[in-house]
């Protein structure tokens, strides 16, 4: 395997009802990534898009070829990857394998999702396809209700209350306030969190992510290309680890409902590839779609003991100046969660952190970051370790 580097980033502001079709949003993010990397468009060998719902909500498949055309890359090797909410991180995994395996020198990854142009009932049904449709989806199960099951089980098992989850949402909103691309730039305190509208007991409004639209893109390349690209004096960012772990789509089919085995597997594999341990991680970007997933991810990724993840961060450990900063640009809760595009946004933001270009959201001197994107309620988990190099 050749070393793979992240050399360019682009993103659109996360919005709602912007009225811009997905193909144009994707093209905008791609143009920004190419300009940021300072490479010629002709150097790009491959495009991989990550999208979950376009075939259902926009009656449009063939996203790879479609986005390639609108991004001025017609004829390029292009394809779409679907892994529910983990689609663009899975697309990144494919791009890393392509460059690392010697098939291409430059791979472009774009996550794109447009969700706000349809009624909520259509969107809810589309998102439910990431569960086991035969066992869960046809029985009117939604992702809110699935996460409510997890949260209720966790609360009953470990004797915690709704208040114990609030600091995750509050931290995310604090960080989102200074992210110009975030959808919910809204200050949150514990009283507002606790009094927010109940969605499905015990999941409240501020336990869940907003419905929104967005596109983000990254460029992956060999070390030779990375060192010759226009870097503006910034350090190189290496993809030191890239792995996927999976689990059953159905909660009742899992070994333990309160253990995200996919998180544990992908974390272990990515850290082993990078040759580091949890102690080396300076930033953790979890898939904080729901506060219960944040708690479970901290446990399965090895940062907290089982049953203690919900308490991690109550003393400030997860803030930007804490021991393990998480959701440094607002996470899915505040930045927003345009499902299939979320993984690309996470990688864009982490690149900014490691290159010291995160502005008001900057974490002090990070070297290693673990970036984790999840499809479903822990079904497909993609973990990337990014390393700052000289």
For 92-144, write each residue's pLDDT tens digit: 999 999 999 999 999 999 999 999 999 999 999 999 999 887 776 555 678 89
Do 287 and 176 reside in the same domain of the chain? yes
Q: How far is CA 66 from the centre of its chain?
A: 23
- The answer to whether residue 343 is domain-embedded is yes
- Catalytic residue selected from 36, 287, 337, 384: 337
Q: What is the mean pLDDT of residues 60-81?
A: 98
For 298-308, write each residue's pLDDT tens digit: 999 999 999 99
Do 222 and 151 reside in the same domain of the chain? no
Structural domain for 166, as ranges: 130-208+239-389
3-state secondary structure of 108: strand
- Catalytic residue selected from 85, 110, 212, 327: 85
Do 152 and 44 reside in the same domain of the chain? no
Do 377 and 297 reside in the same domain of the chain? yes
Assess whether 173 carries a catalytic annotation: no
Q: Are 146 and 56 in contact (CB under 8 A)?
A: no
pLDDT higher than threshold 80 for residue 29? yes
Number of structural domains in the chain:
2
Do 344 and 200 reside in the same domain of the chain? yes
State the DSSP H helix or E strand holding residue 318, giving kind and residue range, or none if neither: none
For 238-254, write each residue's pLDDT tens digit: 999 999 999 999 999 99
Do 153 and 265 reside in the same domain of the chain? yes
Q: How far apart are CA 90 and CA 111, in angstroms?
A: 10
What ranges make up the beta strands (E) of 222-346? 236-246, 283-285
Put simply, whether the predicted model's pTM sits higher than 0.95 gets the answer: yes
- The answer to whether residue 124 is domain-embedded is no
Assess whether 287 carries a catalytic annotation: no
Please choose, from the candidates 201, 274, 184, 257, the residue with its C-alpha nearest in 3D space to the C-alpha of residue 4. 274
Do 98 and 227 reside in the same domain of the chain? yes
């Amino acid at each position: 395997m050749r070393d793979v580097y992240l050399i360019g980033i682009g993103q659109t502001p996360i919005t709602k009802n912007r009225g811009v079709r997905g193909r144009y949003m994707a093209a905008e993010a791609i143009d920004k990534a190419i300009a940021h990397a300072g490479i010629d468009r002709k150097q790009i060998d491959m495009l991989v898009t990550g999208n979950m719902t376009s075939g259902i909500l926009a009656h449009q498949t063939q996203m790879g070829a479609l986005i390639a055309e609108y991004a001025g890359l017609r004829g390029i090797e292009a394809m779409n990857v679907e892994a529910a909410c983990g689609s663009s991180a899975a697309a990144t995994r494919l791009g890393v394998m392509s460059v690392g395996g010697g098939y291409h020198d430059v791979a472009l990854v774009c996550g794109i999702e447009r969700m706000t142009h349809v009624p909520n009932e259509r969107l809810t049904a589309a998102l439910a396809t990431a569960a086991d449709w035969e066992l869960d989806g046809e029985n009117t199960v939604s992702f809110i209700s699935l996460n409510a099951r997890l949260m209720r089980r966790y609360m009953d098992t470990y004797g915690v209350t709704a208040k114990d989850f609030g600091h995750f949402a509050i931290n995310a909103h604090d960080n989102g306030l200074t992210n110009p691309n975030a959808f919910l730039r809204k200050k949150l305190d514990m009283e507002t969190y606790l009094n927010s509208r109940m969605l499905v007991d015990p999941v409240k409004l501020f336990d869940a992510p907003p419905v929104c639209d967005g596109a983000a893109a990254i460029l992956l390349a060999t070390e030779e290309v990375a060192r010759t690209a226009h870097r503006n004096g910034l350090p190189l960012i290496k993809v030191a680890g890239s792995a996927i772990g999976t689990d059953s789509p159905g909660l009742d089919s899992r070994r333990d409902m309160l253990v995200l085995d996919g998180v544990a597997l992908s974390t272990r594999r990515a850290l082993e590839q990078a040759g580091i341990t949890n102690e080396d991680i300076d930033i953790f970007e979890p898939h904080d779609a729901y506060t219960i997933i944040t708690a479970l991810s901290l446990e399965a990724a090895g940062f907290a003991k089982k049953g203690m993840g919900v308490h991690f961060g109550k003393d400030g450990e997860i803030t930007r100046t804490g021991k393990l900063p998480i959701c440094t640009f607002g996470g899915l809760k505040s930045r927003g969660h345009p499902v299939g595009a979320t993984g690309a946004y996470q990688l864009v933001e982490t690149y900014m952190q490691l290159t010291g270009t995160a502005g008001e959201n900057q974490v002090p001197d990070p070297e290693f970051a673990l970036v984790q994107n999840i499809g479903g309620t822990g079904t497909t988990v993609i973990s990337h370790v990014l390393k700052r190099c000289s």
